[in-house]
Amino acid sequence: GDSVTQMEGPVTLSEEAFLTINCTYTATGYPSLFWYVQYPGEGLQLLLKATKADDKGSNKGFEATYRKETTSFHLEKGSVQVSDSAVYFCALRAGNNRKLIWGLGTSLGVNP
């Protein structure tokens, strides 16, 4: 069945460091791919998305490129801030199915 695998956390970085959180997926057809973020005490917020191969989603300095050949959607940011400390979730929506299938989430802590 469809699934999402994320790198395990927690990840701890210093401010201004480069961030990569790996995400790979298994799905039939051509899924839409999402990154959601959950800040402490808050709900799940859409960070970025890509709906077809080679699309790049971007928001708030974060980027992820839909790579069909490697079935990946890795999240990157060139220079993290303390305010980026949160849990990041990779998710997919496959074909006509409307439900989201989730990765385990990766906790990111950024130290000043």
Among 59, 67, 102, 107, binds other proteins (CB under 8 A): 102
Single out the residue of 24, 26, 32, 59 in contact with other proteins (rule: CB under 8 A).
Answer: 32
Q: What is the DSSP letter of 7?
A: -
- Whole-angstrom Cα Rg for the chain: 13
Tokens of 55: 């699309």
Distance CA 19, CA 41 (A): 23
Tokens of 82: 């303390």
Using an 8 Å Cβ cutoff, are 46 and 62 in contact?
A: no
Q: Verify binding: residue 45, other proteins, rule CB under 8 A.
A: yes
Position 93 contacts other proteins (CB under 8 A): yes
The answer to the question of residue 82 lying near other proteins (CB under 8 A) is no
Q: Is 100 in the site for other proteins (CB under 8 A)?
A: yes
Q: Which residues bind other proteins (CB under 8 A)?
A: 32, 36, 42-46, 49, 51, 89, 91, 93, 97-105
